[in-house]
Amino acid sequence: MQTSNPRWIALQVMLQVVEQGRSLDSVFQSDWFQSLPAEKRDLALCREIVFGLCRWYVLLESLLAGRLQKPLRARDRDIEIVLLIGLYQLLIMGTEAHAAVNETVKLALAQKKKWASGLVNAVLRGVLRDDLELGVDADAQAYPHWMRAKLQADWKEQAAEIMIAGNQRPPMTLRVDTRASDVESGLARLLASGFEASGHATVEGAIVLASPCDVTELPGFEQGLFSVQDAAAQLAAQLLVCAPGARVLDACAAPGGKTVHLLQRYPDIKLDALDSSASRLDRLRQNLQRTGHSAQIMVGDAAATGDWFEGDLYDAILADVPCSGTGVLRRHPDIKLLRRESDIMSLCAQQAEILEALWRVLKPGGKMLYSTCSIFKDENENQVSRFLQRHPDAQEIPLNDTNWGELRAHGRQILPGSGNMDGFYYALLIRLPES
């Protein structure tokens, strides 16, 4: 039955990403995927193939083009992806050659295109015969040309390391609710349940698992003791210090990791959680319920304050704005296939619009933490620079007293892999009191 075949499922997932422009998250959360009769181990193999193929798609697509006598027709995109799945298994995943070739040929036949089975067999056996290997610049070639060029322009000699880090498998990092426990107790609980883990070297309250697992298997997860969140993202609640009773806005809140962390760290605040996606806010509600916290949840566009703001200014605002996601490519490799160069300009405009709107609902003397999971300077330090030039009532609070990331002209940047963290950017601003 094809619906339980991990390679067939991987093909269907990739077709939705490549042809429909859907993210892996949306496909995996869809009713179709959730209802598949496949075993857990088969779904794990599917995810391994899909994430790996997205990570190396651009490179493998180029290698495949060089081994075809003529390009495949647009209506045969499924066969192209079948071939790429085969190449991924042979060249990167390390699947035994006989199994990789045979299973990929079967995958072509499952598409009811008998002619394709001979092509798949010939291409994959040709790769084996020629002992094809990835080049020394494979990591860079796995990025779209425009993204590679922008990384090189922004980071010059650091670009190569950034691209290598972006192609690595991400760690599974947990956040401990330090109001209910401490890292040492959390580690002891994990160890007692058979999980190998260690405390994060930089971020207090963070634990890194030696290998990923199903979150529901974690002892204390359902009770809110642990949450899954990269260490870099955990820094937001540390940086946006909130006084007891403060009115706080998490302006782009879903799915709620930072919302919950703010409430755990500052339990006496009054927090509004805003997001434009009602469906993603359902996940935020689930996270709040699991961890035993509450917040005022609002559906709305952060830039359209007239639709949701009721007049009571905020003491603190977290502006974790929409961005290119280039700092989390190792975690979301489908971004390489879905993001376009033209998106950056529109994202920068959206970020600027959100900053302007949120600044108007921040009290004089209040603080705003601007953050992205991008490593493009236009979305980060350049964005903050432009904002400060427009606003004489805004002053940056330098993030000097830290041992993570690197200080930029404005804000602080974490590059992918640094401290075993995702790529993140933070800048802390204060609205000066009226004179």
Q: How far apart are CA 207 and CA 142, in angstroms?
A: 30
Q: Which has the closest alpha carbon to 156: 375, 356, 313, 329?
A: 375
Please give the Cα distance from 344 to 83 (Å, whole number).
Answer: 31
Nearest-CA neighbor of 426 among 411, 415, 410? Answer: 411
* DSSP secondary structure string for all residues of 160-195: HHHHHHHTSPPPEEEEE-TTT--HHHHHHHHHHTT-
Contacts of 11 (CB under 8 A, 6+ apart): 78, 81, 82, 85, 107, 111
Residue 53 contacts residue 85 (beta carbons within 8 Å): yes
Does residue 255 have a cis peptide bond before it, meaning omega lies within 30 degrees of 0? yes
Q: How far apart are CA 89 and CA 56, in angstroms?
A: 11
77-88 helix and 40-65 helix, angle to the nearest 10 degrees = 100
C-alpha span between 360 and 351 (Å, rounded)? 15
373 counts as catalytic: yes
Query: Up-side HSE of residue 324: CA atoms within 13 Å toward CB?
Result: 28
Tokens, residue 99: 């199994």
SS3 413: strand
Q: Select which of 46, 323, 348, 373 is catalytic.
A: 373
Contact 336, 144 (CB under 8 A): yes
Q: How far apart are the first and last CA of the chain?
A: 73
DSSP per-residue codes, 337-365: HH--HHHHHHHHHHHHHHHHHHHTTEEEE
Q: Report, as residue numbers or ranges, the catalytic residues.
A: 373
